[in-house]
Chain A
């Protein structure tokens, strides 16, 4: 299993690298293009794949359904802003008119950020596309698991049925193969609720992200703020649950000369405490974002070819779609795999924190 995960990781790192390189070249074009589109407004706009992809994988203040960048059909989302001078401002993102209008002294910039017109400092707690996707995922999770929980209490001791039998193997998988296997028989039970929640939260958001149309499609787990939050929670938990044995090994590793500890081991171990959740954050973010970018890249290829000649676009579309389809299938696997890897590594960190000293110290 481990070697398989490593192979996948290597594969996706390569893909991610490829995508970043392609964004880079496109990014330079964006810079060139900015002037280009401004001067030739009436002309047929050149398709910009990099901008298109970044637009699709980053957060938005509205839920874009279809239509051009300037006049799209989209679902407006609530904007919640707070500044010391103006207080709390809550209004619909439709009032920005896709960047053409300003509202309550705030305006939407060209690259999709909100700015105060007087450049004052403000806090942005808007329900963005990603936030609303998270809320949707939460409602989904609540609905599914409260239903399942109800059927457990209603049919005590009976064999699982329906949704329950669909969910149960996954719950057992998380409990037995992730929690029990990495934390150990004695301590695992108190971490199972967190691990289950994290697993299903990531898994459902991964899956929702793969749906290209309205209720899905937001790049939640490929957003670094989301993975940061999850990793941050893991960090806080590991800081609080670590036992004497764990901290002893981090701060003053037994059996090593003092100068090695002071100059080498203790700094490294302390970095390690933060580096592990940091890696959790990057891994989930990079895997999911890369997956979205690769699929979008294949779709974009059609329009890149189409922008030189219509025939080219039509001819390339079946090839592109085949690749996109393959990647989508792959992403289904990755959706599960990344939820699994995140949960498994979290469980292993917890396991290290609560591990009992099973060998006698040498001194």
Chain B
């Protein structure tokens, strides 16, 4: 027998069908039992655990993102508030300036008006006073003249003197 023949005839290489049948039976039996009672619960439990871990990780990631967006929005609100405040300040300053300016112009106008009015009043008063004084002076002058005339013309002598002086003044040219 040659080498090849010995190898082929070797009990190692001749499968016995009894063993094939038993192996088939044993393997299929444990396949069915393990599939139903071991692999199913084990794989399901693993899947479930993986899912729960994944969910937890996702939730953490989501929370982190929310936190970040919250921070960002906080920052934005703060920024807005700051801008708003600046705007308000600016507006207030402008308003103040405009109020002051307006007040100033108003005051100037009012003062001028007052001054003009005062001047007018003063003028009127002055004119009135002058008229009054004039009237008074006239009255006084008349009274004085009356008194002088009375005293001058109290006797004949005096009357004659007067006529005389008057006549002297009148130059007959």
Which A positions have Cβ atoms within 8 angstroms of B?
A: 20-21, 23-24, 27, 54, 57-59, 80, 111-112, 123-128, 130-131, 134-135, 138, 141-142, 145-146, 148-149, 152-153, 156-157, 168, 171-172, 175, 192-194, 196-197, 201, 223-226, 228-230, 232-233, 289
Contacts and interface: CB of A to CB of B under 8 A. Distances in A.
Contacts of A20: 7
A127 B26 CA distance: 12
Q: Is the interface of B mostly helix, strand, loop or mixed?
A: helix
Interface stretch (B28-36, B98-106, B116-124, B160-168): B28-36
Given A172-B46, A197-B31, A54 B12 contact: yes
Q: 8 tightest CB-CB pairs across the interface, nearest first?
A: A225-B15, A145-B38, A225-B19, A152-B45, A229-B23, A193-B35, A149-B38, A193-B39
Contact of A197 (B7, B19, B23, B35): B35
Contacts of B22: 125, 127, 131, 134-135
Given A58-B11, A127-B22, A197-B39, 17 more contacts: A27-B6, A111-B11, A124-B18, A125-B18, A131-B19, A141-B34, A142-B33, A145-B38, A156-B45, A157-B48, A175-B43, A194-B35, A196-B34, A224-B12, A230-B27, A232-B20, A289-B12
A90 B2 CA distance: 38
A233 B31 CA distance: 11
A123 B38 contact: no
A139 to B, nearest CB: 9
A196 B41 CA distance: 13
14 contacts: A27-B10, A54-B10, A58-B11, A59-B11, A125-B18, A131-B23, A135-B26, A138-B30, A142-B30, A156-B45, A224-B14, A225-B23, A228-B15, A233-B24
Contacts of A289: 12
Interface residues of B, number: 39
A342 to B, nearest CB: 13
Contact of B30 (A141, A175, A226): A141
A233 B21 CA distance: 12
B13 A224 contact: yes
Nearest to A168: B46
Interface string B36-67: 01111111011011001000000000000000
- Of B24, B28, B52, most buried by chain A (CB within 10 Å of CB) is B24
Contacts of B31: 193-194, 197
B34 A223 contact: no
B173 interface: no
A18 to B, nearest CB: 13
